[in-house]
Amino acid sequence: MQNAEKDASSIVWISGATEGIGLGLARNIPYVGARAINLSRRPHPGLESVFLDLADPGCWNDVGAHFAETLAGFRGDRAIFIQNAHMKGMTGFVGEVAADAYLHDITANVAAPLRLGEMFLRAVKDSGFTGEAGLVMMSSSSARSPTIGQTVYCAGKAALEMWVRVARRELAMREARNIWVTAVRPGFVDTPLTRHVAAMADSDYPIASQMRRQMAQGVGVMDIDTAAKQIWAALPTDQSLLLFGEQVRSED
């Protein structure tokens, strides 16, 4: 480990920092000299990286051990984990998507974020870290909107937001005043995941063509750096949910 990493007063873990909002968040971290760590299947060329495959529960404990080992010797000011990564799922109608792909989608995009969030909070508590500890769970307007073709995505984001609400109440009961937890709906952001679903047929994902029109016209769409900067500007927060617009505008 380099001296700069040893001496950093802030540690920021971002899952999926190799592209999309995660990349924007990584290159706009507001803490000078922060130790930034990418959790992803692909290493980031400019960041320390730790392997994470959301669809492989076997590697989740390795990430949890990394949280614990890093925080055990950390005496800095803040430690923040942003659970942003999302495995591009087999978006489509329930019962029509291949069974193994559907299971992978549930594992990666419902179970993994909750498990990773729990492991981070456990590591903070077990380490005795007394600085600012923050957990950001990346959500979506799909948490409240039953979007056709997105059974797993919608259910996963709704579960994530409820997890945050309950976790906040539990932390308050234990008087863990140095820990904050929030969910973020970032709005309509131009990311590889957005383009992935926008490229689908309306027969499988009915709002795909509307997404494509908005992106082509630049209507209500943010780039990853704009989205990242407004998220960072809102942190830390005492709110359970941060809202930054809706994903797709309603058509007249």
Q: Model confidence over 79-92: pLDDT tens digits?
A: 999 999 999 866 78
Give residue 200's pLDDT. Answer: 83
> What integer best gives the mean pLDDT of the chain?
91
For residue 3, pLDDT over 90 is answered with no
Strand 35-40 and strand 48-51: pairing?
A: parallel
C-beta pairs of 54-59 under 8 Å, 24+ apart in sequence: 54/15, 54/85, 54/86, 54/87, 54/107, 54/108, 54/109, 54/112, 54/113, 55/87, 55/104, 55/107, 55/108, 55/112, 57/107, 57/111, 57/112, 57/115
Three-state SS at 171: helix
Q: What is the pTM of this model?
A: 0.91
Domain boundaries, given as residue ranges, for the chain: 3-187+224-243
Q: Classify 3-187+224-243 by CATH class.
A: alpha beta
